[in-house]
Structure 1
């Protein structure tokens, strides 16, 4: 896969996530197949950085965030947003709004490690495991 093809997969996953037309497990599967090892969603900067096993990285604006991030980190609210997303009750933009309201400033999705690490303003951390990507 060329660099342009990898970037096209990343952009497609981002756009479909925002539209709510692709579930998280499919995003993980497609990104893994394109060589993405992990990605960092920076809610303060409203951007996502994708890190590939070949050494490339790509930064894309999320383009959906307008809400402030709460001061304190509420793990139960983060977990609630994750569960609502898993049940298909909310789509990605609402998920982001909810975790921001829970004090999350960003998160790392470790595709190769099958976990997401949610981070609060003062370094609080909550880890959510997920099933490994199948390619």
Structure 2
């Protein structure tokens, strides 16, 4: 992976973590960098970005100091997603809301235009990208 691609991915991750970039801006920046998907693992506190040629970039994910709930609450996750889409919830708060809702992480399928959120027992919620 070249330095420009790494810098673009790191810039998107940092902008999101700091609440400066909203989800659409992050996805746009990652798409331009050639990322086809990424996985945010709340338990491992890592995000892995995947390029079509098999290259990956693994970045630390700063998480709130809160336990992930045992019960997967899909409606609460949807509420956090919709708050984010409306610009009311930035990523630092989004991660906290997801933990409270029992979400252990998610996969963003840029090429497939949707996000899959995961619970502790394999529960999922699939959210299509807004049009």
Q: How many residues align?
A: 131
Query: In structure 2, the residue corresponding to 1:118 is in which secondary structure?
Result: strand
Whole-Å separation in 2 of the counterparts to 1:71 and 1:21 = 30
Within a 5 Å distance, the mapping from 1:66-105 to structure 2 comes to: 66-105=65-104
- Contact kept, 8 Å, 2:17 with 2:62, in 1: the verdict is no
Q: By how many angstroms is 1:52 displaced?
A: 0.5
CA deviation digits over 1:57-89, x for unaligned, max 9? 010001233211000100000000001111111
- Contact kept, 8 Å, 2:117 with 2:125, in 1: the verdict is yes
CA RMSD of aligned residues (A): 1.2
- Contact kept, 8 Å, 1:38 with 1:50, in 2: the verdict is yes
- Contact kept, 8 Å, 2:47 with 2:60, in 1: the verdict is yes
Aligned: 1:36 with 2:39: no
Whole-Å separation in 2 of the counterparts to 1:124 and 1:96 = 17
Gaps of 5+ in 1: none
Q: By how many angstroms is 1:55 displaced?
A: 1.6
Whole-Å separation in 2 of the counterparts to 1:103 and 1:27 = 24
- Contact kept, 8 Å, 1:39 with 1:49, in 2: the verdict is yes
Q: By how many angstroms is 1:131 displaced?
A: 4.4
2:11 corresponding residue in structure 1: 12
- Contact kept, 8 Å, 1:35 with 1:54, in 2: the verdict is no
Query: In structure 1, the residue corresponding to 2:36 is in which secondary structure?
Result: strand
Whole-Å separation in 2 of the counterparts to 1:9 and 1:65 = 24
TM-score between both structures, scaled by the size of structure 2? 0.95
TM-score between both structures, scaled by the size of structure 1? 0.92
